Amino acid sequence: MMKQLRPVFTFAKIDIRRLFRDKTGIFFIFVFPLIFLLVFGGIFGRETDISFNIGLINNSDSAFSQNFVEQLEENEVFTINEEVSSEEQALEEMNRGSVDALITLPEGFGAVSDEAGYPSGTAEVLYDRGNEQAGVTLGSILESVFAEINAEFVIVETPFTVAVEATEIEGLTTLDYIFSGLLGFTILSLGVFGPTTVFPRMKERGILRRYHTTPIRVWQYFAANVLSNSFVGLMAVALMFVVAVMLFDVSMRGDYISLILLTILGTIVLFGVGLAAGGWAKNENQAAPLANLVAFPMMFLSGVFFPRFLMPEWLQTVSNFFPLTPLIDGLRLIITEGRTLLELGPELAMLGGWLVLIYLVAFRVFRWE
């Protein structure tokens, strides 16, 4: 048995060395997915606080209005555009999108009424109809601010109140959800684009033909490539995790053993897809279109960059049968919901079915030259 496995380990070492000498391969396996992680991490990885860029016109000379303006300037929710000094300027800036709304304090705002004995007034909010959500949100924030101020002057009974309490578990960010898809994309790049580029090139150079003259069998050569790609796949996923945790504080709720085992299984399955395509193609001109034809539908329909539930139901049903879909779903369940490998029955069944099917095809269509 060891005699038959010795060529497997030997060719696995050779394949790992070849990969790390291939600058193009290193880019698409390690660097390319990291670029997507940095892009999506820069967009979704930071906390998004509510903030408004506003124009502020104070037409009142009351002490209350002056104090109110100072409070708005100190409030982190509001960024006041100092260049806005008239309604016409505010409208122009709103059309450009540099100002969300205009707050105007009319004459007499904050003046003390002789009858009531406390200040009063109405702040006017002007917003662009195309940005209605910002205007409504800003109005609600100002209403809550004035409600606190009003409570200092007038005691109002409140029969109904709301109690707000945070959960003990911190919610997921958008990046936590997308990250699982990016891991799937990393494994897809390794499994599909790698073999469809390497094998046709080795055929053209006669390397596979020379391998064929040695005692190595097809299953041994396949096993060696599967072993080397599983090792490299774990390295690529580990690199993605380190960068995601260090730069964007991505949450990991599951166990790493389940993640590692699912990564290995997913790498083996997707490598079989690339092996079938690259093993069948005679040259790179045949392999490149075939790789794109296989990879791009999975890339956009398996939940790599956006959730599948946003797609029509019939398209979700179609994408269920892609080998990348159960892999990403399984990774997402482990990372975001803390599932173990034993709880991923449907995903493992689908990957197992693809594992048998794709390697039967790969053995059938593989050509040494």
117-133 pLDDT, tens digit per residue, is 788 888 888 888 777 77
d(CA 56, CA 63): 16
Q: Which domains does the chain have, with CATH numbers?
A: 2-45+173-365 (no CATH), 52-153 (3.40.1710.10)
Residue 163 confidence (pLDDT): 57
pTM for the full predicted model: 0.68
CA–CA separation, 283 and 135 (whole Å) = 59
Q: Averaged over 236-265, what is the pLDDT?
A: 89
Mean pLDDT calculated for residue range 30-56: 76
Residues 25, 19: contact at Cβ < 8 Å? yes
Average of per-residue pLDDT values in the chain: 82
Which of the four pLDDT bands, split at 50, 70 and 90, describes residue 265?
A: very high
pLDDT bracket for residue 165 (50, 70, 90)? low
> Is the model's pLDDT at 262 over the cut of 90?
yes
Confidence of residue 164 (pLDDT cuts 50, 70, 90): low
The pLDDT of residue 355 is 92
- Phi, psi angles (nearest 5°) of residue 142: -65, -35
Residue closest to 236 by CA, chosen among 201, 196, 276, 188: 188
| Coil vs helix vs strand at 17 | helix
User: How high is the pLDDT of residue 145?
Assistant: 78
DSSP state at residue 62: -
Residue 168: pLDDT band by 50, 70, 90 thresholds? very low
pLDDT tens-place string over residues 295-308: 888 888 888 887 78
Where residue 357 falls among pLDDT bands split at 50, 70, 90? very high
303: left (phi over 0), alpha (psi -120 to 50) or beta: left
pLDDT-above-90 percentage for the chain: 12
Could you give the percent of the chain with pLDDT greater than 70?
Answer: 92
Smallest CA-to-CA distance from 141 within 218, 226, 49, 208 is with: 49
Find, among 7, 3, 89, 10, the residue nearest to 54 by Cα: 89
Mean pLDDT of 222-243: 88
Look at residue 166 and tell me whether its pLDDT is greater than 50. Answer: no
pLDDT surpassing 90 at residue 278: no
